[in-house]
Structures are given as C-alpha cells and as structure tokens.
Amino acid sequence: MQRYFVTINDGFASFSKEDSHHFLNVMRGKKGDIIEVINEGKVYKAIIECVDPLQAKIVSEIEEERENPFKLILAFSLLKKGNDELVMQKCTELGAYSFIPFVSSRTIIRVDESDKKKKNERFSKIIKEAAMQSKRAMIPAISSILSFGELLNVEADIKLIAYEDEALNGKHLSEHIKNMDESKTCLVIVGPEGGFSKEEVDKAIACGFKPISLGKRILRAETASIYVSTIFSMKECGVI
Ligand code: SAM
C-alpha cells in the first residue's frame, strides 16, 4: 500500500509536487485508488478524489505505532563515498528520532557553504524516502551541518560521545540508556573515519557529554551509527 506524508484540511489530504508526480507518473495512480497518508504522526486510509490537483478524501484512521518512544538524536560526521547517506537511510529505517550532521577536526571531506545546502537537500530527500519505505509515522528532522563546537551546545537530556579509546574498558551505550524513559532525548555523537582527538573528547566532557563504548571492536563510522540505532531498537523491544 502506497504511503505519503500530506497536509490535511477539512478531511482532504493535499500532496507535495514531487509526491503528486510520483503517484500519477511513477505509480500510475488514478481517481478511486486507496492509499495511506500520514499527517502529524497519525496514519489514515484515504481515497483519491481528484488528480489535478491531486487530492484524497480521508476515510479512516489506521491504528498503528511504529515510532520508537526512546528518542535518539544521532550526530554523525560527514563521511566519504556517500557513507553518510547510508547512515541516514539505515538509521531512519531503524527509528532514529532526528539527525545532526557535523564536521570535526578529523572529518576527511570538507564542504563550503553552497555544498552544505546541496548536501542538506540530498540528506532530507534520503530521509523522507527511507521514512516512507519503512512506513514511519514521521520524517526524522535533520539540522544544518554544524561545527563540532556548535554541536557541543545542542541540548538533550542524555549526552553521549562514542569514543574509540573507550572501546575496551568504557561503559557501553546500553548501560547509559537502560533506565532512560520515554520523555527523554538522548544525543549520541559518532565520529568521522579519523575518529576524535583527545582535546575534542575533553571539550565534550566539559559540556556534559559522557564518553561511551560501542563494544570491544573498532567499528567503521557508518557501522557505528547503525550500531547505535540498533541498540535503541533493542531498547524499544524491551531487550535493554
Ligand atoms: N580512527 C579511529 C581509530 O583508528 O581508532 C577509529 C574511528 S571510528 C572509524 C569512527 C567513530 O566510530 C569513532 O570516532 C567513534 O565515534 C565510533 N566508534 C567506532 N568503534 C567504536 C567503539 N568500539 N567504541 C566507541 N566508539 C566507537
């Protein structure tokens, strides 16, 4: 069943230009088709009433809960070879609440202001597609690309930085979130291919972050972000 994020007024759903194009020209949709639409975290069954402009009449609400109540704010470094796009796609499927892309001292790729805007647009598109595909009831937000210093000023109830030097003896992520309740947000920072400098970690600690382990082995940056999101999925299922 096709699913679209829409705006709803007086019982009628309206679509974005790109979603209208997708429905009519890619999916060959037509008047009378039944689809699912999402608005403000709620899912509805709807019937296509008009194709120009595309509009659907809300039929009924669909009771389902697919969102993870334990809110992971994932801060990830820009990565080479599109690995940051892989992070967003997989971590959206795994239920991450929101994303903060950043650049730190050992981030390999460098972006200028115009690149940043293009990257953010691309990131938003990937997140929306992954949210639709995984039937999420919301599209995770993504901030603009921050510097490491700006990132340390972001507020969250629990603030953690995954630090490779903590791998063997540090406290594991799961220990830090096992008592987390659904009203809290948890910001987890995952570093770039080159990792974090000790100075960066010391600065993070001074800003209230705790350095954590993601297990005994050193994971690639993209693997580490996917691992963090998976741990939150295990929390959601009650394993942690
Ligand atoms: N250049 C670093 C090195 O050789 O040790 C590895 C950095 S790792 C590729 C990228 C990021 O993933 C790290 O900065 C950290 O945030 C996270 N990470 C990977 N494995 C980890 C682990 N076992 N414990 C904590 N963080 C880890």
185 alpha carbon – ligand 1 mean position (Å)? 23
- pLDDT tens-place values along the chain, 240 residues long: 789 999 999 999 999 999 999 999 999 999 999 999 999 989 999 999 999 999 999 999 999 889 999 999 999 999 999 999 999 999 999 999 999 999 999 999 988 988 999 999 999 999 999 999 999 999 999 999 999 999 999 999 999 999 999 999 999 999 999 999 999 999 999 999 999 999 999 999 999 999 999 999 999 999 999 999 999 999 999 999
pTM: 0.93
Select from 39, 148, 152, 139 the least CA-distant residue to 99. Answer: 139
The residue whose two tokens read 């050193």 is: 218
77, two tokens: 């470094």
- State the Cα–Cα distance between residues 36 and 43, nearest whole angstrom: 7
- Structure letter (DSSP) for residue 70: S
Tell me which fold the domain 71-236 belongs to. Alpha/beta knot (3.40.1280)
Return the pLDDT at 47: 98
Return the pLDDT at 97: 98
Per domain, the residue ranges of the chain are 3-62, 71-236
The number of helices, as runs of H, and strands, as runs of E, in the chain is 7, 13
Indicate which atom in ligand 1 lies nearest the CA of residue 106: 1
97 alpha carbon – ligand 1 mean position (Å)? 22
Return the pLDDT at 2: 82
Nearest CA to ligand 1 atom 2: 195
Return the pLDDT at 113: 87
- State the Cα–Cα distance between residues 26 and 66, nearest whole angstrom: 26
The architecture CATH gives domain 3-62: Beta Barrel (2.40)
- State the Cα–Cα distance between residues 166 and 188, nearest whole angstrom: 14
